Amino acid sequence: MDFEPYRGELVAYCYRMLGSFHEAEDLVQETMLRAWKARDRYDPARASVRTWLYRIATNVCLTALEGRGRRPLPSGLGAPSDDPRAPLTPALDVPWLEPFPDVRFDLEARADLRLALVAALQLLPARQRAVLVLREVLEFSAAEVAAQLGTSAAAVNSALQRARTALAGVGDVGGVAEPEDPQARAVVQRYVRAFEAADVPALVRLLTDDAVLEMPPVPLWYRGRGDYGLFMDRVFGLRGVGWRARDLTANGQPALVAYAPEPCGGHRLHSVQVLTVTGGRIARNVVFTDPRVLASFEGPERISRDESRPGR
């Protein structure tokens, strides 16, 4: 019995449930181990292998979530800062939401991995979260979800309605452009050129009026083109100019990996920046600097001064 073809979609499912790519990988490994140990008890007359694996994964996730709080982004914890020069002190005690490295898996539907949606899912109780993802994202029937959760179809439908009500208007991704959208690609390419040139006015012109910039594990976040621009002035003042960036995708969204200039030459990996593009403008930039998060994207830690940049 081969479970490997299901690994990618199970990692995406556990990621939606936990908000952590690293924990999702660990929980899928546990799911595979449990399935292998129970393979002799699997009954194909009762469920497909895929449905059976999701039942195991759901139980693993619900156990992992017992007694835990949600994984937030900084914008989910309070009001934006009005001081672009505030100290950038990481809050290492907060279990921050992590990005999903698209390059690691060949998934068909990444739209349901949007950062805003995964952050919104964290607001739901664990079982409602499972019901919503299993029913609306993965399109299992109410009867199948009831079997996976050990409850009734009526209870599943009730939980689904409560989850929909709780998330009404939250994390709406309907207007978010796909990474392959020509307009979105053009906007990101212009943003990268301005970023590498340290051209803050050009960066600001690419933003929506209420653009958000946040940088977990730093709990600060900023709203508006003015503060975004002032903060970028600060970044280039502190870290120098001549940054380099490479295009990629994360959570089914346009993204870039940024390399800061080093005094001795070359560039060191600094951040993965996940962009939300709406209406031909950048509405949000979530900048991840945690070394463990950066490692999940499997890019080089350093690049030379003249190294070419794919996709540019």
| pLDDT tens-place values along the chain, 312 residues long | 889 999 999 999 999 999 999 999 999 999 999 999 999 999 999 889 999 999 999 999 999 999 888 899 999 999 999 999 999 999 999 999 999 999 888 877 677 899 999 999 999 999 999 999 999 989 999 999 999 999 999 999 999 999 999 888 664 544 566 777 889 999 999 999 999 999 999 999 999 999 999 999 999 999 999 999 999 999 999 999 999 999 999 999 999 999 999 988 899 999 999 999 999 999 999 999 999 999 999 889 999 866 644 444
Distance, in Å, from the CA atom of 256 to the CA atom of 179, rounded to the nearest integer, reads: 11
| CB-CB neighbours of 249 under 10 Å | 19
3-state class of 246 per DSSP? strand
- Contacts of residue 79, Cβ cutoff 8 Å, sequence gap at least 6: none
pLDDT at 128: 95
pLDDT at 311: 42
Q: Which pair of tokens denotes residue 127?
A: 């079982």
Per CATH, domain 182-303 is 3.40.50.1480: no
> Would you say 20 and 121 are in contact if contact means Cβ atoms under 8 Å apart?
no
> Using N-to-C axis directions, what is the helix angle for 21-37 and 49-65, rounded to 10°?
130
Q: Which pair of tokens denotes residue 285?
A: 């930039």
Select 4-68+109-166's CATH number: 1.20.140.160, 3.40.50.280, 3.30.460.10, 3.40.50.1980.
1.20.140.160
pLDDT at 310: 43
pLDDT at 175: 56
CA 243, 118, 26, 253 torsion: positive or negative? Answer: negative
Q: Identify any residues that bridge with 303 across adjacent strands, giving them in sequence order.
A: 267
> Would you say 163 and 132 are in contact if contact means Cβ atoms under 8 Å apart?
yes
Q: Where are the domains of the chain?
A: 4-68+109-166, 182-303
Distance, in Å, from the CA atom of 20 to the CA atom of 80, rounded to the nearest integer, reads: 24
pLDDT at 264: 86
Instruction: For residue 55, give the nearest of 145, 156, 159 by alpha carbon.
Output: 145
3-state class of 263 per DSSP? coil
pLDDT at 108: 76
Q: Identify any residues that bridge with 255 across adjacent strands, giving them in sequence order.
A: 248, 274
CA 95, 97, 103, 106 torsion: positive or negative? Answer: positive
**Helix or strand run (H / E) with residue 271:** strand 267-278
* Angle of CA points 33, 35, 36, to nearest 5°: 65
